[in-house]
Amino acid sequence: KNQVEQSPQSLIILEGKNCTLQCNYTVSPFSNLRWYKQDTGRGPVSLTIMTFSENTKSNGRYTATLDADTKQSSLHITASQLSDSASYICVVSDDGNKLVFGAGTILRVKS
C-alpha cells in the first residue's frame, strides 16, 4: 500500500533555531516528492519539488533532501522565524501522477 509517513507529528522550537522534518514513503513507482507549507486555515503552498535524480533542493531557508534508495526525505529549516509556524506536508507522486499525502508535521516557532 502506498503510504507517506511524517515525523514528528508536532514540534516546538525557539525562534532562530534550526529544525528538520522527516518524511518516509513506500510509494512505488516513484515520480517526485514535494514539500508544502500550510498556514492555519489556508491552502498548502509548494516549497520544493524533487525528482528521482535530485538529492537536495533549497528554497531560501528551506532545504529538502531526498534519498530515493531508502525512500526518505527531510525538510531542514534554518534560522527559524515566527512565520515558519505552520503545517508542513510531504506529498509523493507515482508515475501515474497519483499523489499520496502525509498527515503533516505541525511546527510552532516561539519567541
Q: How many CA atoms lie within 13 A of 79 on its CB side?
A: 2
Closest CB 9 distance from other proteins, rounded Å? 8
Closest to other proteins by CB, 15 vs 57, is 57
Chain residues that interact with other proteins, rule: CB under 8 A: 4, 9, 34, 36, 41-46, 49, 89, 91, 99-104
Closest to other proteins by CB, 34 vs 77, is 34
Closest to other proteins by CB, 24 vs 102, is 102
- Phi and psi torsions of 81, nearest 5°: -125, 160
Closest CB 18 distance from other proteins, rounded Å? 25
Determine the Cα–Cα distance for residues 103 and 88; give it in Å rounded to an integer.
9
Residues near 13 by beta carbon (within 8 Å), at least 6 away in sequence:
19, 80, 107, 108, 109, 110
Closest to other proteins by CB, 68 vs 99, is 99
